[in-house]
Structure 1
């Protein structure tokens, strides 16, 4: 069977020949149209399979994310238990046959006590465009640098 690309080319060729006055091509055109419909139906069936597979992957992704978070929370709890134990036993370092466990001094980090007292030179503001508000205004009047654009999307039922 021909590919969808080939069928589109054949359809366009036959359509052009009919428009140019060639006779007896209507039956061939109906055959090509039938083949196109059959091919489109096959495409939609494959699309539905891909969509089902994507749904399964999303479900598995969610399950793995939950599993990952459970594992990371376990690590966090165990790490805190080690810190608490070492602090209670007044130890900064423990050496075992397989590991060396110790505290290290981290680089100083900034703690903001009162944001209103911070000078403006350290404050960054992000500029964002509200597309919903812009769209509403564009329905009423023109705005330089933006326009409403209508488009189509494929719907399969």
Structure 2
């Protein structure tokens, strides 16, 4: 069976034959049309199967993300229990055969008032509200730097 690319070329050749005035091309046109319909249907079946697989993968990703989060929370709770044990026993360092548990110093910045910081230390991220912009443009507003563009999306039902 011909590919869609080959069938498109066959249509182009058929169009050229018609433009050149050749007759008796109806049978050829019917066979190409039938082949295109079969090929489109086969493509649609493959697309539906792949889309189903994609949904399964998304579901599995979600399940794995939830499992990862549960495991990370378990690790956090265990580390907290170790820290509480070290603090409760008053020990700064505990050495076992395989591990050493101890405290190390670290620092972090805590900001109490972001408005009082010099601008060089504050990053402002600009985002576009596409939904609000689309709503305004559909309502007929003229907005410099934006326009509403109509697209055509393929629908397979």
Q: Normalising by the residue count of structure 1, what TM-score does the alignment of the two structures yield?
A: 0.90
Work out whether residues 94 and 100 of structure 1, in 8 Å CA contact, stay in contact via their aligned partners in 2: yes
- Match of 1:149? 149
Give the 5 Å matches for 1:17-36.
17-36=17-36
Q: Following TM superposition, where does structure 1 have runs of at least 4 consecutive aligned residues deviating by more than 6 angstroms?
A: none
Distance in 1, Cα, partners of 2:112 & 2:60: 43
Work out whether residues 15 and 29 of structure 1, in 8 Å CA contact, stay in contact via their aligned partners in 2: no
Q: What is the Cα deviation at residue 105 of structure 1?
A: 0.6
Quick check: 119-128 or 75-84, which moved more? Answer: 119-128
Q: Which runs of 5+ in 1 are unaligned?
A: none
- Match of 1:124? 123
Give the alignment's Cα RMSD to 1 decimal.
1.7
Distance in 1, Cα, partners of 2:128 & 2:152: 24
Q: Count matched residues.
A: 156
Distance in 2, Cα, partners of 1:76 & 1:56: 30
Q: Which runs of 5+ in 2 are unaligned?
A: none
Distance in 2, Cα, partners of 1:152 & 1:134: 20
Q: What is the Cα deviation at residue 12 of structure 1?
A: 1.7
Call closer, same or farther: CA 1:65–1:136 in 2, change over 3 Å: closer
